[in-house]
Structure formats: C-alpha cells, structure tokens
Amino acid sequence: MPSLRMMPKVMSLTDAAAARVAALMAQKPGVKGLRIGVKKGGCAGMEYTMSWADEIGKFDEVVEDKGAVVLIEPTAVMYLLGTEMDFQTDKLSSQFVFNNPNQKSACGCGESVTLEPATPQGLAPV
C-alpha cells in the first residue's frame, strides 16, 4: 500500500472570517465560493485579490469551514501556505485580514505586501 504524504494546510479561517464569508455567500445564490489569489501590484510588490466564483476551478484548493467556502487560486498556493484569514471590525472599518507567515513586509497604506513563496523548511504537516 502506498504511503500517504501529509500535506500542509493551505489556509485556515478564524470563526469570524468563516461566519462573514458564509453570511455573504448566503446573499449570493449560485456562488460556489470566495476565490482568493495574489497579483503583482502596489508599492510593496503584491496584492491579495478576492472575487466571487461561479464555479470551482479544476486546480483550485478548496477550504471549507463552518459553511464558508474559500477557493485558493493555484498560482497563489505557494504564497498563502500557512495563512490564517480573519475578519476584523473596528470603529472605522470592517475587513478581511491575512495573517501570512510568507509576508515579509507591507506598504504604509496597507494595500500591498511583499510575499515570498513558502519553503519546505517552513511547512509543517497537518
């Protein structure tokens, strides 16, 4: 029998993030999930992207938690390995926050980040 290789968890959701994604999905019939990715841009080099997905891509990484479905774009997986997605509300704003161990810095305005691909040494099996 072949041995099963333990894969690291790509992303986890806090209870607040899962509740917010699930609530938003409930308002959007036909939506399969919230797609998360990264793209080049901003003063720090990269930006997180989020969009609603009408279908699950063949190579999307699917994270399901408490009624929330998050789809990770294949090209973003190495930048998001080990990330915790949170939803925070304060007096002036409500927003999703990514606690990403692969983030090396962020710009002053908080719109872009510097990300490095995860390395095998930084990964722990789940």
Mean pLDDT for back-to-back runs of 10 residues, the chain (126 residues)? 60 95 94 92 77 94 93 91 91 87 65 59 51
Would you state the pLDDT for residue 126?
A: 44
Number of neighbours of residue 86 by Cβ within 10 angstroms: 18
Residue-range definition of the domain harbouring residue 23? 11-115
Q: What is the CATH number of the domain that holds 59?
A: 2.60.300.12
Q: How many Cα atoms within 13 Å fall on the side-chain side of residue 83?
A: 30
**Prediction pTM value:** 0.78
Element (H, E) at 34: strand 33-40
Q: What is the pLDDT of residue 43?
A: 67
pLDDT of 120 reads 59
> 80 in a domain, yes or no?
yes
pLDDT at site 100: 83
> What is the pLDDT, as a whole number, of residue 48?
84
Number of domains in the chain: 1
CB-count exposure of residue 126 (10 Å: 0-12, 13-18, 19+): exposed
**Rg of the Cα atoms in the chain:** 15
